[in-house]
Structure 1
Amino acid sequence: MSTIESLLREATGKLHGHSDSPRLDAELLLAHVLDTGRTTLHTWPERQPSPETEAAFLGLVERRLVGEPVAYLIGRRGFWNFDLDVSPDVLIPRPETELLVEQALARIPADADWPIADLGTGSGAIALALARERPRCTIHAVDRSAAALAVARRNAERLDLHNLHFHQGDWLDALPAGIDWQMIVSNPPYVPEDAPHLAARGVRYEPRAALAAGADGLDDIRRIVPAAWQALAPGGWLLLEHGWDQGEAVPRLLEAAGFREVADYRDLAGHPRVAAGRKPC
């Protein structure tokens, strides 16, 4: 019978050339089918999984070989300081999006009780991070997809977070009326419709509506910026994630709408990634 280590070696060999992290992928998939953590794999490499477990693992490896993302195969992705349930109904959270969370938190006082909107919440990554770090704030998470909202609600329940509300609809149109928003955040679609990497391995499995936005990728941002200006309280902030090549275009849109203190921030790879602007008091 195969051991944990021999299965990992076999899978890693198969995944070479198909993944940037073949050993990590193999460990995540095997830990998933064993319902354990990766530490167990390292501690007891001589253990022999059952034939059923081995078959399930090798089946996942085959799916990974054709490009299906590990996050979808195991139904989970780490973000901020917690794990998220994910499915093909939601975009897989990226590390770059943590920059948006960081910049939002830098502007929210620790004891603030602000109403905050997260537009296009998907799995709930941004909304949940803000809700955990600023428990007195009330986060309103919006998505047009009922399936995505079901994933976000499930994540909120699993993390035992209760300072969130979920709304189905289109951007700010879905938010309740009569609230002077202190902050609006969004990681909207920002990829041009004809971008070649939309057909790349992995990306093609993700919901296209969560990725692409018109010829230049800015269609949704152009809708959000003026609507956010109208919805924000004086002194309120708008923060937007955007593409690496939109670091001039998005701040220009903010400035044209009347936002002040406009700034753009680079991700860990050095790419422009998050734009912020404040409505004057």
Structure 2
Amino acid sequence: MPAARSLRTGPVARLAGKRGFAKRAPGFAKRALPRAPVPGFPLLWIACLAAAALMVVTGGFGTGALPLGTRIAFWLLLMGWNALKWQALFAWGVRKPGDWPRVSLFGTIPLNLPLPFEIWLCGRAVGVEMQAVPVEVWLGAAAISTGIFAVCWAVAWLMLRRMRPIRADTGLLARARVPAGDLAAIEAEDHYCRIHRRDGGSALIHYRFGDALEEVAGLDGLQVHRGAWAAADAVEGAERDGRKWRLLLAGGGSVPVSATYAAAARARGWLRATR
């Protein structure tokens, strides 16, 4: 006689399976999807696609004689590769809207210098031998980059305009009587926010953490936990807290770093153990 099996079948088992999936799905989505958008995405890719379309139509860099299919493949390949380069730079260097002009200018020369070689390489990839004149290529790249950056900078400017300024009269810092220059961190505690000062003191104010984040969006800092924000120049080091990290602040305080925001904190050079 075969051994009895505890497998459930039929509608009850399917319902239990659906409930288990429903419970697991949000956790998976939290781990798989980043909370913070990648700087420049998708605007950069849309701008590069538009530039590729313009080059296909106008036959830029002498590609007008190529068959249409080959021309499209060449420009999609070239602009896609350059979009990837710039996306990596923006992801590395852009932390707030005011970083866009500096990071864009910083990358203009090193990222555009290899373009003549990239044009030759992309030509070979689509079966065409292309010889690029470096000066012409660099001038054309400068024109294209200027157009793309103009769009990115315009969006950054609009983002800054939409940001809620630090309200000196009614905002969180005013209620806590903490000048922006003395702010070390903000930490959520239930329906309250604890404001850490750089002298080691703190104040607990009844305030929404989301509103506090909007008010300090113009300051140089970073959200490092779903309930913690740290000012950049108040971070003095980091320490391990089991498998997680805590940032050490000026004045002796500390705030936790969650796995969701660890990569961003590491990119700022904050996650280097000091004790």
TM-score for both structures, normalised by structure 1: 0.25
Instruction: Identify, as 1 or 2, the structure richer in helix.
Output: 2
Higher RCO (Cα < 8 Å, 6 or more apart): 1
TM-score for both structures, normalised by structure 2: 0.25
